[in-house]
Chain A
Amino acid sequence: MSVTDLATREELERPGQAKIIFFPYGKREWFAKGEVSVLEAAQAQGIDLSSLCNGKGTCGKCKVKIEKGLETLGPLTPQELRHITEEEMKANYRLACQIRPPASIVVYVPERSRVGKQRLQTEGLEVPVKTLNPFVKKFFIEMSKPTLHDHKSDEDRLLDTLLKGHCVPANLEFDFDLSLDLATTLRNANWRVTAVTWKDKLIDVEPGNTTDRCFGFAVDIGTTKLAGFLMDLNTGKVVSVAARMNPQIPLGEEVMSRITHQMMKGWAGVEELQKAVVSGINEMIEECCQKANVKTNEIYELCFVGNTAMQLCFLGIYGRHVAFSPYPPVLRRGVNVRASKLGLKSHPRANTYYVPVIGGFVGADSVADLMAVRMLESDEMIMDIDIGTNTEIAVGNKDSVLMDSCASGPAFEGMQIKHGMRAATGSIERISIDPETLEVNYRVIEDKPPVGLCGSALVDVPAELLKSGVIDLKGKFVAEMAEKTNRVRKGPEGWEFVVAWQKETATDTDIVITQGDVRELQKAKAAMRTGSEILMKRMGVTEDDITKLYMAGAFGNYIDPENARTIGMYPEVPLDKVVFVGNTAGTGSRMCLISKEEREYAENLSTKVKYLELAADPDFQTEYLDALYFPHKNLDKYPDTVELLRRLGRIK
């Protein structure tokens, strides 16, 4: 049922009242004509619609698309003119707090105006696999007892019955460990057992019929966060989920420092890192099993994705040479190794599969990401950005895909920012500055008095400072602004902007953003922007050719795509082409766990995708220097943003 169908079939006229219909939720309600704003209507119905300024028209976050009834709403208010771009006006966008419908209308709340997606950490696209086909298979068999006339060995009896009754490889191999108490097991089970196979190996013989109990565990090893998914291999569905901070962090904040730990401490260091990450993974396994009432030895296979450094540290491979130019991985192909060898809590003969990597530090998580968004199947040109401790960017389609990795640095994790912090209770996660009054609105995680600024707020900060004229396109504080507001002042380290006054904060100080902080953020976003620019150059395309921009990774879910674009974090692609896909690395890991075909797809993908070593590219330096400007030195690349800044008086 389309939007227009709905609007024509239902009752839309009532004296003195207007009906406001919200999509995609489908909720609708009657309100007094011309008296209730769309924002108030949303709040009254508990509909997820973002607002930082609570309806004053200063934050610009409550943008909605008017599907029906735009003509009844009247012209844009001055507040709307400050926030809505020309492109959005053409697409019928308005600020929900500024419109009080005098007649029934249909409103669509776009993803970026919702708060809900903020909490997604482990969730990513649910992509159906082509065939549910795990490597682990269970078969129930009933054997006849040995007799004087039939005195086959237990081994032959088992394998013959299995081969006769089921489709198993003819060369099925018996794992030696099984033979130790095979005889007892078979007799205690009265010759009715479940054979568990993995590929062409028989890995267990379980008494009775346990075919309905077959589980696997998929993991995304992030540099900072681990995500784990317990899956039912019979249905291919997720049974429970867990997440942990990566326990390797104390041994190295980012990938290079972890490899350095291996170098400094030798094999002891390698072992330390390996054990650390496994301890986090085992905790997730236990948590998931407990939640789902599953025993850890019912997990017969585990699948892992992570960047190349995570691959090395997890598998216990010495990675020194990967850390030096030209950064060749040690292993590219998928790796199969006994889970017990790695110390993982699962069935004693469970297999571990590590998905193939691409090149340099672009690893299995990127393979998984591209699998989930099906880039190799697309006719159209796609860009995929996975923002994390490292940012991986891919540009391409079914003909070819080029990929690079940008060391964006830890600025968006809050490091090297005066009042920066990792996202946690008390972090300011979003901020807006009124371009006229320069007053600040912000939202804190868990609504507590603020302690600092986390990554998503640090994307808002330069955008809001730019839009309100506090900083110029070069990123420099504009001294004259100190006369307009006492939030702009000279602090001990130079110019700074007060985000929160001491009396509002949980700390003993004002929370500020300094000139130095802005410089750090410029460098971080310039690295990412250079990553996408060089890829487009080498692929021979421009932003106009990009039909979809996938933002992957948990962080991508939290940021304001418009502000990220305004500061020039990614090319100026229309915002309705930006799709948030969440933790696609997790998606790909799950797909590989439950399907042989997806593993083959992953192996193929890892050879097809070409890796570009960014820092070695001859244009890197010039592009990087141009990308330091907000949004970019070359303003032709950002016509929509320039138009908005011009309207705000920031550009002549």
Chain B
Amino acid sequence: MSEKEKIFEQLQQTVIVGDTEGAKKAAQDAIDAGIEPWKAITDGLAAGMKVVGEKYESKEYFLPEVMVASDAMYAGLNLLLPLLKAAEKADREKVVIGVVEGDIHDIGKNIVKTMLTAAGYDVVDVGRDVPTPQFIETATGEKAKVIAMSTMMTPTLMSMKDVEAELEKKGLKGEVKTIIGGGTVTDEWKAKIGSDAYGKDAVEAVDKVKILFEEIKLALDLAKKKREA
């Protein structure tokens, strides 16, 4: 195995076992070895996180393991992200994520945030008990095209409905996509309130967000073609 291959292996492994110090070292080694930061992230840290996601899905890993893996990943990211070229930074698609108004349970949301970050998205975390208008204001301000909402309880499902209503009112429905998830959220609820996607867990959330961005790109390309026609 070449030196560079070893470093990629380290980047992945330290995330998989949740070795924060090791991940920092691996990130630094990658920088010193001249590896492109975005490659170190994608093929190293993020690849490791993907494995963690699979182990979480198969229930081999549980919440604590995911959290320590997440800590390791962020430790590495903190060294690599600032080094991304401006163009690469702009390329990263933005997602606004938060726990809806009235609810303060955020462990699940934090896991989704980790997996989305690992998948290469620039995640803007608005926290928990987020007032409905704040989701949209932040999305507009950050030029984020996807809003991800989470709740663990039933009464606060209504807050998701409120966000959808706000989007409609502001004429942003369709332009900004929504994805919902959480302990009490279902596909039926998504259909009922008109959200664009539902993720049953963190791993599915990443797949669905990918699809949402593809839809957005498709719509933009179509609009472009129409203008040129």
Q: Contacts of A324 on B, CB cut-off 8 Å? A: 101-103, 155-156
Query: Which of A155-163, A442-450, A515-523 contacts its partner?
Result: A515-523
Name the interface residues of B144-173: CB closer than 8 Å to any CB of A.
153-158
Name the interface residues of B52-91: CB closer than 8 Å to any CB of A.
58-60, 62-65, 67
Query: Considering only CB atoms, which chain A residue lies closest to B59 in the complex?
Result: A515
The reply to whether A474 and B65 form a contact with Cβ atoms under 8 Å apart is yes
Q: Contacts of A629 on B, CB cut-off 8 Å? A: 64
A633 within 8 A of B: yes
B29 within 8 A of A: no
Q: Contacts of B65 on A, CB cut-off 8 Å? A: 474
A624 within 8 A of B: yes
A633 to B158, CA, bound (A): 37
Q: Which of B101, B102, B110 has the most chain A CB atoms closer than 10 A to its own CB?
A: B102
A323 to B151, CA, bound (A): 13
The reply to whether A628 and B64 form a contact with Cβ atoms under 8 Å apart is yes
The reply to whether B62 and A624 form a contact with Cβ atoms under 8 Å apart is no
Q: Contacts of B157 on A, CB cut-off 8 Å? A: 260
Distance of B58 from chain A, by nearest CB (Å): 6
A290 within 8 A of B: no
B25 within 8 A of A: no
A615 within 8 A of B: yes
Partner of B62, one of A256, A522, A615: A522
Name the interface residues of A245-267: CB closer than 8 Å to any CB of B.
256-257, 259-260, 263
Interface flags, A262-276, vs B, CB<8A=1, else 0:
010000000000000
A633 to B101, CA, bound (A): 32
Interface flags, A479-498, vs B, CB<8A=1, else 0:
00000000000000010000
Partner of A256, one of B59, B67, B153: B153
A260 to B101, CA, bound (A): 15
The reply to whether B62 and A474 form a contact with Cβ atoms under 8 Å apart is yes
A112 to B64, CA, bound (A): 33
A259 to B157, CA, bound (A): 12
The reply to whether B64 and A474 form a contact with Cβ atoms under 8 Å apart is yes
Q: Contacts of B105 on A, CB cut-off 8 Å? A: 615
Given known A494-B58, A625-B63, contact A323–B155 (CB-CB < 8 A): yes
Distance of A488 from chain B, by nearest CB (Å): 15
A325 within 8 A of B: yes
* Tally of A interface residues using CB under 8 Å: 27
The reply to whether B158 and A263 form a contact with Cβ atoms under 8 Å apart is yes
The reply to whether B155 and A628 form a contact with Cβ atoms under 8 Å apart is no
Given known A256-B154, A260-B154, A320-B155, contact A325–B102 (CB-CB < 8 A): yes
Name the interface residues of A596-652: CB closer than 8 Å to any CB of B.
615-616, 621, 624-626, 628-629, 633
Query: Considering only CB atoms, which chain B residue lies closest to A614 in the complex?
Result: B104
A629 to B104, CA, bound (A): 23
B129 within 8 A of A: yes
B222 within 8 A of A: no
Partner of A257, one of B101, B106, B107, B154: B154
Q: Contacts of A516 on B, CB cut-off 8 Å? A: 59
* Tally of B interface residues using CB under 8 Å: 23
Q: Which of A323, A325, A474 has the most chain B CB atoms closer than 10 A to its own CB?
A: A325
A523 to B106, CA, bound (A): 15
Interface flags, B175-216, vs A, CB<8A=1, else 0:
000000000000000000000000000000000000000000
Partner of A323, one of B64, B67, B153: B153
The reply to whether A624 and B104 form a contact with Cβ atoms under 8 Å apart is no
A638 to B63, CA, bound (A): 21
Name the interface residues of B33-61: CB closer than 8 Å to any CB of A.
58-60
Interface flags, B98-120, vs A, CB<8A=1, else 0:
00011111110010000000000
Distance of A333 from chain B, by nearest CB (Å): 24
A519 to B60, CA, bound (A): 10
The reply to whether A260 and B155 form a contact with Cβ atoms under 8 Å apart is yes
A475 within 8 A of B: yes
A451 to B58, CA, bound (A): 27
Query: Considering only CB atoms, which chain B residue lies closest to A322 in the complex?
Result: B155
A114 within 8 A of B: no
Distance of B185 from chain A, by nearest CB (Å): 13
A9 to B16, CA, bound (A): 69
The reply to whether B153 and A628 form a contact with Cβ atoms under 8 Å apart is no
Distance of A564 from chain B, by nearest CB (Å): 20
The reply to whether B62 and A325 form a contact with Cβ atoms under 8 Å apart is no
A522 to B61, CA, bound (A): 13
Q: Contacts of A633 on B, CB cut-off 8 Å? A: 64
A633 to B155, CA, bound (A): 33
Query: Considering only CB atoms, which chain B residue lies closest to A253 in the complex?
Result: B154
Q: Contacts of A519 on B, CB cut-off 8 Å? A: 59, 62
A474 to B59, CA, bound (A): 11
Given known A256-B153, A257-B154, contact A476–B60 (CB-CB < 8 A): yes
A256 to B155, CA, bound (A): 7
Query: Considering only CB atoms, which chain A residue lies closest to B159 in the complex?
Result: A324
Q: Contacts of B154 on A, CB cut-off 8 Å? A: 256-257, 259-260
The reply to whether B102 and A494 form a contact with Cβ atoms under 8 Å apart is no
Distance of A236 from chain B, by nearest CB (Å): 40
The reply to whether B103 and A325 form a contact with Cβ atoms under 8 Å apart is yes
Q: Which of A263, A615, A626 has the most chain B CB atoms closer than 10 A to its own CB?
A: A615
Distance of A307 from chain B, by nearest CB (Å): 15
Q: Which of B63, B154, B157 has the most chain A CB atoms closer than 10 A to its own CB?
A: B154
A516 to B104, CA, bound (A): 25
The reply to whether A624 and B107 form a contact with Cβ atoms under 8 Å apart is yes
Q: Contacts of A621 on B, CB cut-off 8 Å? A: 106-107, 110
Query: Considering only CB atoms, which chain A residue lies closest to B107 in the complex?
Result: A621
A60 to B145, CA, bound (A): 60
The reply to whether B104 and A259 form a contact with Cβ atoms under 8 Å apart is no
Distance of B155 from chain A, by nearest CB (Å): 4
Distance of B113 from chain A, by nearest CB (Å): 13
Query: Considering only CB atoms, which chain A residue lies closest to B68 in the complex?
Result: A625
Distance of A330 from chain B, by nearest CB (Å): 14
The reply to whether B129 and A628 form a contact with Cβ atoms under 8 Å apart is no
Q: Contacts of A494 on B, CB cut-off 8 Å? A: 58-59
Q: Contacts of A523 on B, CB cut-off 8 Å? A: 63
The reply to whether A628 and B62 form a contact with Cβ atoms under 8 Å apart is yes
Q: Contacts of B102 on A, CB cut-off 8 Å? A: 323-325
Distance of B160 from chain A, by nearest CB (Å): 13
A66 to B144, CA, bound (A): 71
Query: Considering only CB atoms, which chain B residue lies closest to A476 in the complex?
Result: B60
Q: Contacts of A522 on B, CB cut-off 8 Å? A: 62
A628 to B68, CA, bound (A): 13
Q: Contacts of A475 on B, CB cut-off 8 Å? A: 62
Distance of B3 from chain A, by nearest CB (Å): 34
Q: Contacts of A625 on B, CB cut-off 8 Å? A: 63-64, 67, 107
A240 to B67, CA, bound (A): 53
Query: Considering only CB atoms, which chain A residue lies closest to B158 in the complex?
Result: A263
A263 to B157, CA, bound (A): 11
The reply to whether B107 and A325 form a contact with Cβ atoms under 8 Å apart is no
Name the interface residues of A502-558: CB closer than 8 Å to any CB of B.
515-516, 519, 522-523
Q: Contacts of B101 on A, CB cut-off 8 Å? A: 324
Interface flags, A318-330, vs B, CB<8A=1, else 0:
0010011100000
A628 to B66, CA, bound (A): 12
A126 to B120, CA, bound (A): 62
Known contacts A320-B155, A516-B59; 19 further A-B pairs (Cβ under 8 A) = A256-B155, A259-B154, A260-B154, A323-B102, A323-B153, A323-B156, A325-B102, A325-B129, A474-B65, A476-B62, A515-B60, A519-B59, A519-B62, A523-B63, A615-B104, A621-B107, A625-B63, A625-B107, A626-B64
A-B contact pairs, 24 of them (CB 8 A): A256-B153, A256-B154, A259-B154, A260-B154, A260-B155, A263-B158, A323-B156, A324-B156, A325-B102, A325-B104, A474-B65, A475-B62, A494-B59, A515-B60, A516-B59, A522-B62, A523-B63, A615-B105, A616-B104, A625-B64, A625-B67, A628-B63, A629-B64, A633-B64
Nearest 5 CB-CB pairings of A with B: A324-B102, A323-B155, A260-B154, A515-B59, A256-B154
